[in-house]
């Protein structure tokens, strides 16, 4: 990372490594960008803390600094976030997912990467990096979180999801090869369901030149900056929700109380709806692990691929889809996605019609103001 990380008026040194003191801010910011998905940030932080205590801080490397021939291995959790709350992964299995894939490919990993920004999927790679003594790439494959395996920018850049490894907390592990990235999702989802709807995967192994081109740069630095900004503003009794909106270049879409939540775990996803009632009416959120569509009184306000973020109104803490509860007072933010997601190929991959919604994409700044 170049330049100086800033939070309000306090200048912070460049983020070149991640240690125990960075974890809370990183996990909080990752949950913001995770748009409700990516897993419980608290669980991810606990697992990462254990790995950092055992192995020490992890070096952080900007994508621009990767050599062409670097061997970059992403690692992530696949499955329903609702399940992982009660079924915590075994820490040692996270690094082993990378080892299994590397042995299958016959290469030596040089870097670990995040495939998405999300609660646990921004901290699990940190665990693997610490265990294996490898640097972590300061970036990710989405700039947010999406529910399906093929929904990453590397897919748009022609990078194959497989071969990939997939394993559970018991030590079962499989290696998959598929004809395309959509098929990889179908095969891996079936295995994930068999493994109890929560599995550890390593896929999209790529060279440094491919990572520089396809990843969203600076994601982990941004997550940490968001997390620290919230902490600082809250200590000053300021507007934490507004601070998050400022950091992610978004706007407050709606504020109110959660009056209804319907959530179910099916086909390996946490699917459902939530209704937030406020002075501006009722906002309906539709989610599949992540928030995908927001409608106010039946009118679409914003859709995937742009970000829909739910925060606790008082504290500014991100609220994941599995944590939404009746009576929770929340603020809903809308923010822009990486512009590549708005290309025709990006919309075909993650646009609202792919998920079954009868609407064209609505950008974060196109809906009505509350």
Backbone torsions φ then ψ of 121, nearest 5 degrees = -80, 0
Structure confidence at residue 322 (pLDDT) = 84
- Side-by-side strand order, sheet with 329-335: 299-303, 290-296, 281-288, 269-278, 251-266, 329-335, 307-312
Mean pLDDT is lowest, of 73-77, 90-94, 278-282, 291-295, for: 90-94
pLDDT tens-digit series, residues 250-277: 999 999 999 999 988 766 567 899 999 9
What is the distance between the alpha carbons of residues 280 and 156, in angstroms, rounded to a whole number?
38
What is the average pLDDT value for the chain, to the nearest integer? 91
Residue 335, number of CB atoms within 10 A of its CB: 23
Tokens 């004809």 belong to 179
> Three-state SS for 247?
helix
Count of C-beta atoms within a 10 Å radius of residue 21: 9
Give the angle subtended at the CA of 134 by the CAs of 128 and 137, to the nearest 5°. 85
Q: What is the pTM of this model?
A: 0.91
In terms of pLDDT, which residue wins out, 183 or 170?
A: 183
Beta pairing class for 299-303 and 290-296? antiparallel
Q: Is the pLDDT of residue 246 over 70?
A: yes
> pLDDT class for 2, splitting at 50, 70, 90?
very low
- Grade residue 7 by pLDDT with cuts at 50, 70 and 90: very low
Domains with residue ranges and CATH for the chain: 12-219 (3.40.1610.10), 240-350 (2.40.390.10)
Structure confidence by residue, pLDDT tens digits, 56-73: 999 999 999 999 999 999
Least confident of 1-10, 222-231, 307-316, 334-343: 1-10
Six token digits for residue 53: 């205590």
- 205-233 residue pLDDT tens: 999 999 999 999 999 999 999 999 999 99
Long-range contacts of 14-17 (CB under 8 A, 24+ apart): 15/60, 15/138, 15/220, 15/221, 15/224, 16/59, 16/60, 17/57, 17/58, 17/59, 17/60
Q: What percent of the chain has pLDDT over 70?
A: 91
How far, in Å, CA of 124 to CA of 329, rounded? 30
């Amino acid at each position: 990372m170049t330049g100086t990380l800033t939070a309000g008026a306090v200048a912070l040194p460049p983020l070149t490594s991640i240690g125990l003191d960075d974890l809370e801010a990183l996990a909080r910011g990752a949950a913001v960008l995770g748009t409700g998905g990516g897993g419980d940030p608290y669980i991810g932080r606990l697992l990462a803390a254990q790995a950092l205590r055992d192995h020490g801080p992890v070096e952080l490397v900007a994508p621009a600094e990767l050599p062409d021939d670097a061997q970059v291995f992403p690692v992530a959790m696949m499955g329903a976030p609702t399940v992982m709350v009660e079924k915590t992964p075994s820490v040692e299995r996270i690094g082993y997912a990378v080892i299994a894939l590397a042995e299958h490919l016959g290469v030596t990993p040089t870097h670990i990467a995040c495939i998405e920004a999300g609660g646990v999927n921004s901290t699990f790679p940190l665990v693997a990096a610490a265990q294996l003594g490898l640097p972590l790439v300061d970036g990710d494959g989405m700039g947010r979180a999406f529910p399906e395996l093929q929904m990453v920018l590397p897919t748009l850049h022609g990078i194959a999801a497989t071969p990939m490894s997939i394993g559970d907390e018991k030590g079962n592990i499989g290696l998959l090869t598929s004809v395309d990235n959509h098929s990889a999702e179908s095969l891996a989802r079936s295995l994930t369901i068999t493994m109890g709807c929560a599995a550890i995967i390593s896929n999209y192994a790529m060279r440094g030149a491919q990572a520089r081109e396809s990843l969203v740069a600076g994601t982990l630095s941004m997550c940490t900056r968001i997390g620290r900004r919230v902490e600082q503003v809250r200590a000053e009794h300021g507007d934490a929700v507004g601070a998050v909106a400022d950091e992610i270049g978004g706007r407050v879409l709606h504020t109110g109380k959660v009056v209804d939540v319907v959530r179910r775990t099916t086909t390996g996803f946490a699917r459902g709806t939530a209704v937030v009632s406020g002075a501006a009416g009722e906002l309906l959120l539709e989610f599949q692990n992540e928030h995908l569509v927001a409608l106010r009184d039946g009118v679409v306000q914003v859709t995937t691929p742009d970000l829909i973020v739910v925060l606790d109104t008082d504290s500014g803490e991100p609220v994941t889809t599995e944590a939404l509860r009746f009576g929770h007072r929340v603020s809903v933010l809308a923010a822009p996605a990486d512009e590549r997601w708005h290309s025709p190929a990006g919309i075909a991959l993650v646009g609202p019609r792919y998920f079954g919604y009868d609407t064209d994409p609505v950008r974060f700044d196109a809906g009505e103001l509350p």
